[in-house]
Amino acid sequence: MADGSAKRPAVPLSDAALPALPDEVLRPTYDRAGLRPGIVHIGVGNFHRGHQAWYLHRLMQDGLAQDWAIIGAGVRPGDAVMRDKLLAQDCLTTLVELDPSGSSAEVVGSMIDFLPVEADNASLIETMARSDIRIVALTVTEGGYYIDPNTGGLDLSHPDIARDIAHPETPGTAFGAMVAALARRKAAGVGPFTSQSCDNLQGNGDILRDVIVTLARATDPTLADWLTTHATFPNSMVDCIVPATGPNEIALAAQFGIADAAPVTHENFRQWVIEDAFCAGRPDWDKAGAIFTDEVHTYEAMKIRILNAGHQVLANAGELLGLQTIADCMSHPQIRAFFRKVQMEEIAPYVFEVPGFTPTAYVDLIETRFSNPEIRDTTRRVAFDGSSRHTGFVLPILRDALKAGGTVDGLSLVEALWARMCAGTRQDGSRIEPNDPHWDALVAAAEQAKTNPQAWLAQNQYYQELANEEAFSTSFEAWLSLIWADGVDAALSRHLGKGA
């Protein structure tokens, strides 16, 4: 950032304003008016705009993918707020890279429109049914796939899904809208689009396939058969730390002379690993640094276990101690040492290496990334939706460790810290605001677990057979009792005193 940049007037972001932006701000060099759509993306949050949209933008900067522009979409009331902000600035987004050595800014222009957010999703269905739309991508969060925790498949009894089944032409969910659009394409003799999940789920394409095909089969078995034969759902691994946007992020964009209502800040690292399974074509994202491979699972297992599970190792302890950001957690000597010990002893042993990274090297990388003080990634954001994140990221490692006869003492402490956090108060007595879609039920279980730790493990929707694994349940009970009696610091100290 140039000296004195904070003093220059901020220009409202728009196509017309691009030439007036400061010289150091990168901006589209392509003719945005000449772009043609090829992708609908549902869930236009920060991650999408700082990740998939950026890869596409970089191709466009090289004169490629001009017919793959993104049309944004959403199915929740909050998406309408984002739509208004982005349409007011011609769907441009300012990306501010937070490198410890100095920040930089780039304006991304790969999105060209944002559909109306409607209860019946009429505009979304109509657009996805068009033959020029060849990919429909989603970022709807890990917990947004209506998965039944007991079966691992689509929860057909969920009120939202049941309503879509009863009213397939006016669905309320993103998945119902996709099925409705695919039905129209089939009826019109148009092939299916590729359905692409960009969420942090292991086997995200497989999960999306199951949701779409199961939902289709509930109303039209022939459509489900057609999708099974012709549609594709590529798995992918996505990685870039993208904090939520607030006044500080808006002020950062203004320091570069840009008045952006919804800028995105991000770390100086990105990775996108994709299964090359696109039934209607795709952009050459590999020319912008993405990796196409048949070994997505190995990459995503490394990332989800070391990074995403690692986030949970940090966040609950940090929240209980009142630490504001993940970088603050990494600056706390006990929490950082706890993170390293759990990673090396209980997570990395159940991760395979990938080209360019051993598990140990990847742990080192994640430590560096999490320690970046420029990334104001809040502990609260990372701790959000623990009911999905612990179930999806932490507990599978626990199962593997138990099966292998490995230690689970640290992971048991991680679960005990989550149980203590869900009581809704920090160690200093301050209140933790609701931070999970199932917060009330979690608080009730956490209160019971204060005197009866097994009450927490009795939540079968999360722990299932793990509650009966003595090595885990005994360790969990001891840690939670210690945390309530003597505090988080005492538990961390005792754990760190056990072995190297």
Count of domains forming the chain = 2
Phi, psi values for residue 388, rounded to 5°: -90, -40
- Do residues 138 and 195 share a domain? yes
The pLDDT score that the predictor gives to residue 498 is 66
On the question of pLDDT at 490 being above 60, the answer is: yes
Residue 103: is it exposed, middle or buried by C-beta count within 10 angstroms (0-12/13-18/19+)? Answer: middle
Q: For the segment 172-194, what is each residue's pLDDT rounded down to a tens digit?
A: 999 999 999 999 999 999 999 99
The pLDDT score that the predictor gives to residue 7 is 64
Strand ranges of the sheet holding 291-292, from the earlier edge strand across to the other edge: 236-239, 271-274, 291-292
CATH number for the domain spanning 266: value is 3.40.50.720
On the question of pLDDT at 3 being above 50, the answer is: no
Domain closes at, from 294, 312, 330: 294
Spatial separation of the C-alpha atoms in residues 92 and 240, rounded to whole Å: 20
- Do residues 250 and 221 share a domain? yes
Q: For the segment 416-468, what is each residue's pLDDT rounded down to a tens digit?
A: 999 999 999 999 999 999 999 999 999 999 999 999 999 999 999 999 999 99
Spatial separation of the C-alpha atoms in residues 3 and 18, rounded to whole Å: 21
Please state the length of the chain: 500
On the question of pLDDT at 1 being above 80, the answer is: no
The answer to whether 207 touches 175, Cβ cutoff 8 Å, is no
Spatial separation of the C-alpha atoms in residues 74 and 494, rounded to whole Å: 47
- Do residues 347 and 398 share a domain? yes
CATH number for the domain spanning 461: value is 1.10.1040.10
- Do residues 208 and 357 share a domain? no
- Do residues 272 and 329 share a domain? no
Q: What percent of the chain has pLDDT over 70?
A: 98
- Do residues 354 and 222 share a domain? no
The answer to whether 198 touches 239, Cβ cutoff 8 Å, is no
- Do residues 25 and 169 share a domain? yes
238 forms bridges with which residues in the sheet? 272
Q: Which of 303, 276, 285, 270 is nearest to 201 (CA)?
A: 303
pTM: 0.84
- Do residues 330 and 289 share a domain? no
SS3 of residue 198 by DSSP: coil
For 432, residues 6+ apart whose C-beta sits below 8 A from its C-beta are: 319, 421, 424, 425, 426
The pLDDT score that the predictor gives to residue 101 is 85
On the question of pLDDT at 6 being above 80, the answer is: no
Q: Which of 344, 342, 339, 343 is nearest to 326 (CA)?
A: 339
The pLDDT score that the predictor gives to residue 143 is 82
H or E segment at 404? helix 395-404
- Do residues 276 and 392 share a domain? no
- Do residues 105 and 222 share a domain? yes
The pLDDT score that the predictor gives to residue 229 is 98
SS3 of residue 401 by DSSP: helix
SS3 annotation, 33-60:
HHCCEEEEEECCCHHHHHCHHHHHHHHH
On the question of pLDDT at 290 being above 90, the answer is: yes
In this prediction, residue 21 has a pLDDT band, given cuts at 50, 70 and 90, of very high
On the question of pLDDT at 309 being above 50, the answer is: yes
In this prediction, residue 56 has a pLDDT band, given cuts at 50, 70 and 90, of very high
**C-alpha dihedral, 271 to 233 to 283 to 293, nearest 10°:** 50
Domain closes at, from 294, 319, 347: 294
Spatial separation of the C-alpha atoms in residues 392 and 145, rounded to whole Å: 12
Domain closes at, from 245, 273, 294: 294
**Ramachandran assignment for 2, one of left (phi > 0), alpha (psi -120 to 50 degrees), beta (any other):** beta
Distance between first and last Cα of the chain = 43
- Do residues 253 and 302 share a domain? no
In this prediction, residue 2 has a pLDDT band, given cuts at 50, 70 and 90, of very low
Domain of residue 389, residue span = 297-496
Mean pLDDT rounded to a whole number for the chain: 95
In the DSSP assignment, the letter for residue 265 is E
- Do residues 349 and 267 share a domain? no
In the DSSP assignment, the letter for residue 211 is H
For 362, residues 6+ apart whose C-beta sits below 8 A from its C-beta are: 302, 303, 306, 348, 351
The pLDDT score that the predictor gives to residue 500 is 41
